[in-house]
Structure 1
């Protein structure tokens, strides 16, 4: 028997990207949303939905903002316990903090503990879907998928593949990277709300032979995503150039081995060459902006305005734990700050869209999550726009919704998250 529930408040949905025209033009505010069987069953006025579902219980959220749950398009759940570690840039970060921690994920119990903790922490901040790197250990993938499956949560993840420039015990091989990834893919991809992403960490930690093998695996399973890193720091790019002297640029190290395509996700993408920008746009690949990470480890300033203007597909992400927060609100604030440093003030509608619709579209899940529309999966977050005295006193002066929500974007944290629903069920 179908059970319908109605939530009232200020319900935000998007009809188009706020980067395509006036930011406010693509947003609609409704009075209520109806949820049934894990999906959005209705959207509109409270009176209309109550009349259509007279027996449905109603949860009144007053003037709180109800929107699609946040989507984190690039994360490293195994780094949850080392988030906010001091004083390193990318390569030193990996060697000092990341690699020693990832060694621990050979232990299934430890992997399960961190996976559960990570999903608890992100849900508390309103994140309902993420795309995560795991470690080289199949146990790390099993742990995250098992925890997500138990929660009915939509998650994409994959075994990280590395066969060089990593410590002993944290390297796989060409064959094991292919075979482990294939086995995990066949076990989990498309099961319940789970998807597999083929995952070479980045070109410096894979030999050309390993990239070739993973490119072949992707060609054999083109409905999977492929996630990696691209042009995060200038010294990283120099390292790639020394390891791949025949490559035209960083992107070419992937392209030459079958790892460039419309279902590719390229984290960071800060220091792109013109040819790289052209090829990424031509193939319809997705770039993932990780602003708190980019500032925390000193990577650079993502060109959001320029990339959007030229028609790139862009999502938003925390990059836990190089990113310094589990919160997509804090991530939006950092994206705003980076935009300001580049001369463009992102509108609140654009920031919310990036953290929901934009990230979902980057993951090729925009037909299922990232927006509130009839038939979409009912992953929802309810934001209290006066969650602290500092935020409340600013929001009280607001003349419209965007002025009211912006203080929460800039100063909000998990206290602003009044309610989270995954598949319609309250977390």
Structure 2
């Protein structure tokens, strides 16, 4: 008989997106679930679940709230050691902090050290899936995938490709970007819980020839994701216009080279033109909201309500290390704060959904992770809704689960993470 674990707690499962209809009615609380073979086998009242699985080992999580594990849709694991570096905007940030740190990933041992450190830090914060940029070094991709594989994680990663406007030692070529990415894709894509993402950093650091080569690779492997950056800062957009004078806009630099599609992940996407918004919606691409990064580097305010209202697919991300936290709870809090500044108070259900099901859907993994339902992979997090005195005293006045959860979203950190399960295994 397959090993079975019965978990009792407050188990929050979404029935639908909280951006349609009343957010408070988008999810239901359940009393028990069963994990079997790394998946959710049952969900419902404890009496019914216990009767159906009488041999299951019982784990009582008391009043803790169990949700799907957090899904971080845009990170740079090589920036782990330089997170929270002071005082730069995007282009200076890259030159001052990012590129010197990424040079160190030519050493496979250093890449392995940081990959393990990054995944352990994010697991401690309840994140069970990440989509990461690596560096130009193929060994940096291998290090990340090996670390994720050793922990049983579902993970996405790709070799970052740059053939111009980067230092010596951090540039490849159009051909080597294609060859390296193809070899890594062949080695890792679809192995265990791993997926490859074709990864041009952004148009300023890729020549038209390199973008075209990567567009060709994507056409050959359309089941892969493609991740890049788009319209993060206004001076970046001006730089793109100077480098690609024939392009209609920033998005057109990707579209013209075969890098616009439904499985595309476009990080930041703050300062979009009407044409860009129309095309992204038409193809079903994903915009990845990185709120702590957008404020920390001074990029701007992503208008979540407007993008959702016009039908965009949106995910949520820490953007480590431009983002100033490894925590998806802190990222949800920042999304709420930016929502306030753009005129919409996001409901706790909407914030939690963005960090779980919404990001999973952005990664085209919504049928595997991001929600709690029979058949889904058992990536779970148990939250202590009274993890600090400040949170406990506010949650003690809550009249429903959303009011109880919101203080943890706004003030919680890794102390709120009581337990994490990865493919059904407690870690």
TM-score, normalized by length of structure 2?
A: 1.00
Moved more, 16-25 or 84-93: 16-25
Tell me the CA shift for residue 25 of structure 1: 2.1
Cα separation, 1, equivalents of 2:165 and 2:21: 45
Deviation at 1:57, TM superposition (A): 1.5
Looking at structure 1, the residues matched to 181 and 55 of structure 2 have their Cα atoms a distance apart, in angstroms, of: 48
- 1:94-123 CA-to-partner distances (Å, cap 9, x unmatched) read 000000000000101000000000000000
Match of 1:310 in 2: 310
> Which position in structure 1 is the counterpart of 2:239?
239
Q: Deviations over 1:120-139 (max 9, x none)?
A: 00000000000000000000
**Matched ranges for 1:243-254 at <5 A:** 243-254=243-254
How far apart, CA to CA, are the structure 2 residues paired with 1:161 and 1:21?
42
Unpaired runs of 5+ residues, structure 1, are none
**Map of 2:213 onto structure 1:** 213
Tell me the SS of whatever aligns to 1:229: strand
Q: Provide the rounded CA distance (Å) in 1 between the counterparts of 2:24 and 2:7.
A: 23
Partner of 1:166: 166
Secondary structure of the equivalent of 1:186? Answer: helix
1:99 aligns with 2:99: yes
My pick for the range that moved more, 26-35 or 67-76, is 26-35
**Aligned counterparts of 2:182 and 2:268: Cα–Cα separation in 1:** 26
1:239-388 equivalences under 5 Å are 239-388=239-388
Give me the whole-angstrom Cα distance separating, in 1, the residues matched to 2:367 and 2:106: 35
1:170 counterpart SS class: coil
**Could you give the per-residue CA deviations for residues 24-73 of structure 1, whole angstroms, max 9, x where no partner exists?**
22211111111011000000011111111111111111111001000000
Aligned residue number for residue 87 of structure 2: 87
Runs (4+) of structure 1 moved beyond 3 Å? Answer: none
Instruction: Between 7-16 and 300-309, report the one with greater CA deviation.
Output: 7-16
1:150 corresponds in structure 2 to 150
Aligned residues: 427
Corresponding residue for 2:199? Answer: 199
In the alignment, the residues of structure 2 paired with residue 253 and residue 29 of structure 1 have an alpha-carbon distance, to the nearest angstrom, of 46
Map of 1:2 onto structure 2: 2
Q: Deviations over 1:207-246 (max 9, x none)?
A: 0000000000000000000000000000000000000000
Instruction: Tell me how large the CA RMSD over aligned residues is.
Output: 0.5
Query: Could you say what secondary structure the match of 1:48 adopts?
Result: helix
The alignment status of 1:392 with 2:392, answered yes or no, reads yes
Matched, 1:18 2:45: no
The alpha carbon displacement at 1:279 in A equals 0.1
Shift of 1:151: 1.1
CA distance in 1: counterparts of 2:195 and 2:96, whole angstroms: 31
Distance 1:264 1:12 in 2: 29
The answer to whether structure 1 residue 37 and structure 2 residue 66 are counterparts is no
